[in-house]
């Protein structure tokens, strides 16, 4: 069995860091041709291509991303040895990279990630953005998992998997009022002023459909694509907000806000999106086993 050449691995690590063979060669003070030979030897020993070309850039393949993770861990272990000898011990960690769409409840994310928090051997990398941007990052192997409030269709190029994690009711939330009458849905919405998720939201589309069927057009004060901001506006404005109660669970528990009306038949669903990979991150499987309800094919 061939032994790993750590000299080749160091060269690979520099190339991956620079994403460019010329710059890596200059940094290592070797010729570009010599560096290419060393990289090819490493790929041959591993039996996997580690890079693919994108114009003048070198982009890591899935195997390359795995190799880079191990290279980082190997060189970090070397740093740990040095630190240990100088009475500065540090611990090795596994890395889990998670993206979450900006519209997703922060409280739900916290509940999802709570089993991993406080584990010294796990490093979490959390990123937020649009679903399209996060899927693009996962396609290039810079994310292991994307949390979303809608499933992703499979296509011919990428076999996405949408794992249903949970579903929550959706309610109209507002400040408490001792004189408030019981809310009559949907009739009372004829006079209400609302804070709503943006039109891109699935719960907003379903809510609009319900009101259209009832012939009601409420006054919309704000459309917000960030649940954290919707939560703050609800707290500060005194107007009703359409949100899953999990978004404002702290305020509901403290009495700062109250649930005025639960919308019949309306739910928000939470998904973990993963790609098909030959080398899946073991932490993803561990996380899904504790949370997943089912896999969904849109």
User: Both 181 and 254 in a single domain?
Assistant: yes
Distances (CA, A) of 3 to 55, 73, 150: 33, 17, 45
CA distance 51 to 60: 4
User: Both 110 and 68 in a single domain?
Assistant: no
Which are the contacts of 283, defined by CB distance < 8 A and separation ≥ 6?
94, 96, 116, 122, 144
pLDDT above 60 (res 298): no
User: Both 177 and 263 in a single domain?
Assistant: yes
Tens digits of residue pLDDT in 42-65: 999 988 999 998 877 888 999 998
Distances (CA, A) of 250 to 29, 99, 102, 174, 258: 57, 24, 20, 13, 11
Which stretch of 83-87, 144-148, 251-255, 287-291 has the lowest confidence by average pLDDT?
83-87
Could you check whether the bond before residue 186 is cis, i.e. omega within 30 degrees of 0? yes
In a domain, 115, yes or no: yes
User: Both 225 and 256 in a single domain?
Assistant: yes
User: Both 146 and 20 in a single domain?
Assistant: no
User: Both 227 and 200 in a single domain?
Assistant: yes
For residue 83, the model assigns a pLDDT of 62
CA distance 191 to 42: 69
User: Both 144 and 275 in a single domain?
Assistant: yes
pLDDT above 90 (res 285): no
For residue 1, the model assigns a pLDDT of 45
Which stretch of 11-25, 68-82, 248-262 has the lowest confidence by average pLDDT?
68-82
- Structural domain boundaries, residue 281: 94-166+271-296
């Amino acid at each position: 069995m061939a032994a790993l050449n750590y000299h080749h691995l160091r060269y690979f690590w520099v190339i991956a860091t620079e994403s460019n063979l010329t710059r890596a060669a200059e940094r290592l003070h070797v010729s570009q041709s010599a560096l290419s030979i060393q990289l090819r030897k490493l790929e041959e020993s591993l039996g996997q291509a580690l890079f693919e070309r994108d114009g003048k850039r070198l982009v890591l393949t899935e195997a390359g991303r795995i190799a880079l993770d191990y290279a980082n861990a190997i060189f970090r272990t070397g740093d740990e040895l040095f630190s240990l000898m100088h009475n500065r011990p540090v611990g090795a960690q596994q890395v889990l990279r998670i993206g979450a769409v900006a519209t997703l409840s922060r409280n739900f994310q916290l509940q999802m990630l709570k089993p991993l928090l406080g584990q010294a051997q796990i490093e979490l990398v959390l990123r937020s953005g649009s679903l399209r941007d996060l899927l693009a990052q996962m396609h290039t192997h810079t994310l292991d998992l994307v949390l979303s409030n809608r499933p992703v269709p499979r296509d011919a190029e990428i076999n996405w998997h949408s794992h249903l994690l949970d579903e929550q009711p959706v309610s109209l939330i507002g400040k408490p009022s001792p004189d408030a009458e019981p809310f009559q849905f949907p009739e009372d919405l004829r006079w209400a002023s609302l804070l709503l998720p943006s039109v891109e939201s699935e719960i907003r589309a379903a809510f609009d459909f319900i009101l259209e069927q009832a012939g009601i057009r409420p006054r919309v004060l704000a459309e917000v694509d960030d649940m954290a901001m919707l939560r703050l506006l609800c707290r500060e404005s005194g107007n009703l907000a359409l949100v899953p109660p999990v978004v404002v669970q702290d305020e509901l528990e403290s009495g700062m806000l109250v649930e005025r009306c639960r919308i019949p038949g309306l739910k928000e669903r939470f998904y973990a999106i993963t790609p098909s990979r030959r080398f899946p991150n073991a932490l993803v499987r561990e996380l899904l086993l504790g949370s997943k309800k089912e896999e969904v094919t849109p």
